Structure 1
């Protein structure tokens, strides 16, 4: 059977995902997570489980320093349970942060190394910009119109999810101002994402350069399966090109629509999204409705995920 994997990025995370991590972390992974997030087993868990103020948990989970290591941990916990029971994937693609998990799943670096790298990635991204930053998804407008309004507001187009589904990034004040202009221009939907960094824009060039220096220390070898770059869907079959793309995507716009098209053209029998939310599986279903696709979040158990994959093949 031909299985393709999609690893989600930031934005869909919630307390339930961190409770999954709390329940499943043990051994090397638990030690690594405690190293990058000291006290994770107590203060964060308590704050997420307590009946806090409505926006408190969401704001905490949107912080790069917390979100990036925890999302990666949740994805790799799932993959560790799924990998022995699924066929070897024909490819994997990761949306923004999800490319970290895609590379690790393919063997570019260990889970423990990945957690350290996620913490470093978050710190570098946070240090590269000042003030309140964010990202806004814009649906229903032509790309040229979105880019024109974004640039005029001091923002940049960061991600192309589909021809009329883009994400812009930059200063939060600019995002709030331009949202009204997008609405007036006829946008069908506007979503402020749970991300506090202008990811995939030139503002993060320094972070990308510094992250590449750390990735260059990792040894080269053949990957277990190809990893598609979210920048342009180029398939990496060995570690070195995969890591080069992983660093560059921090400051380079993503063409996720092209990435999904490349996955569809590989003619998988099924596509599985691993990580918080189901946004990627919904995007893929719109692009290729004849190819079965589901997200792990759609299921209540690993057994349910495995049964679906087996039935799809």
Structure 2
């Protein structure tokens, strides 16, 4: 058996995230304590008690998800379940890097908080948008987004999630026009997403530049296991490349389907989504139904997953 830990991105946050895990395993309060020392506010209070409107703000959601995900993954590793590969969707790539030993919990929480602020500042509220395009492949969708961009309304493919599900991102007008044209080109649906900005589009380049400065100040170590990067969908092992890919990632598409297929090609047959929700679990199943998928987000799901894997892993 080959195993991959996968880590969710923004949108998976929920009030109460990691609360039961920390109550059941109080030593993991230390993750929250060191993060709060870096952040200067109580992220655990937001995670455990909300309100959801505050937790969903990108600069709060990003460290909250990183902490929830790394606590869940650390508990798996404490139970002898070690990944052969790690990968995360957008923000989740930072959770993967923490679990690979490249970033500390403290530095990871601090840098994604700043990443969230930079992304929030890059485009004024209401000027950017994202939409999920269902039932149209990238080869047919890209000419649509290119045509709209050439008309002066910037829009790009942002997330290649799974067969039949691609997210576009750009100006509000660009996304609106591209959504209408995508349906004319054969898309089944175009669903506007409730997001605070046009993530993974060229409009995020100002955020990428600011993040680049921050990343030069953060200590990084070579990963203990391969990290499959969003930008290339390939395993990466050296720190210089990791830094550059994290900068590129802010304004580049998340190649999630390709990342999952790459891990399967490398022999991965079991995926564990670490953190709240099960969005990535659903995407993996749509990409390849032959693999085994688990999700760990509370004590019950942790125990169930450990029991399911223990015979083969320990």
TM-score, scaled to structure 2 = 0.84
Counterpart in 2 of 1:54?
none
120, 131, 135: which one pairs with 1:136? 131
Change in CA separation of 1:186 and 1:145 when aligned onto 2, cut-off 3 Å: same
Change in CA separation of 1:144 and 1:61 when aligned onto 2, cut-off 3 Å: farther
Counterpart in 2 of 1:306?
306
Structure-2 separation of matches of 1:216 and 1:82 = 31
Structure-2 separation of matches of 1:183 and 1:220 = 44
Q: Say how many residue pairs are matched.
A: 304
Q: CA RMSD in A?
A: 2.8
Say which SS state the counterpart of residue 38 (structure 1) adopts.
coil
Deviation of 1:3 after TM superposition, in Å, equals 1.2
1:29 aligns with 2:54: no
Counterpart in 2 of 1:147?
142
Deviation of 1:177 after TM superposition, in Å, equals 5.8
Change in CA separation of 1:164 and 1:117 when aligned onto 2, cut-off 3 Å: same
Structure-2 separation of matches of 1:193 and 1:22 = 31
Structure-1 separation of matches of 2:42 and 2:234 = 39
- The one-character-per-residue Cα deviations of 1:51-108 (angstroms, maximum 9, x if unpaired) are xxxxxx3x44432122111111111111221212133311111110000101111011
Counterpart in 1 of 2:73?
79
Deviation of 1:110 after TM superposition, in Å, equals 0.6
1:262 aligns with 2:262: yes
Say which SS state the counterpart of residue 226 (structure 2) adopts.
strand
Counterpart contact for 2:16–2:47, Cα < 8 Å: no
TM-score, scaled to structure 1 = 0.85
Structure-1 separation of matches of 2:229 and 2:43 = 31
Say which SS state the counterpart of residue 157 (structure 1) adopts.
strand
Counterpart in 2 of 1:117?
111
Deviation of 1:238 after TM superposition, in Å, equals 3.0
Deviation of 1:220 after TM superposition, in Å, equals 5.1
Counterpart in 2 of 1:98?
92
Counterpart in 1 of 2:12?
12
Deviation of 1:250 after TM superposition, in Å, equals 0.5
Structure-2 separation of matches of 1:37 and 1:220 = 22
- Of 265-274 and 277-286, deviating more is 277-286
- Of 91-100 and 299-308, deviating more is 299-308
Consecutive unaligned residues of structure 1, counting only runs of 5 or more, are 49-56
Say which SS state the counterpart of residue 223 (structure 2) adopts.
strand
- The one-character-per-residue Cα deviations of 1:202-228 (angstroms, maximum 9, x if unpaired) are 111122122122222344543110001
Counterpart contact for 2:277–2:297, Cα < 8 Å: yes
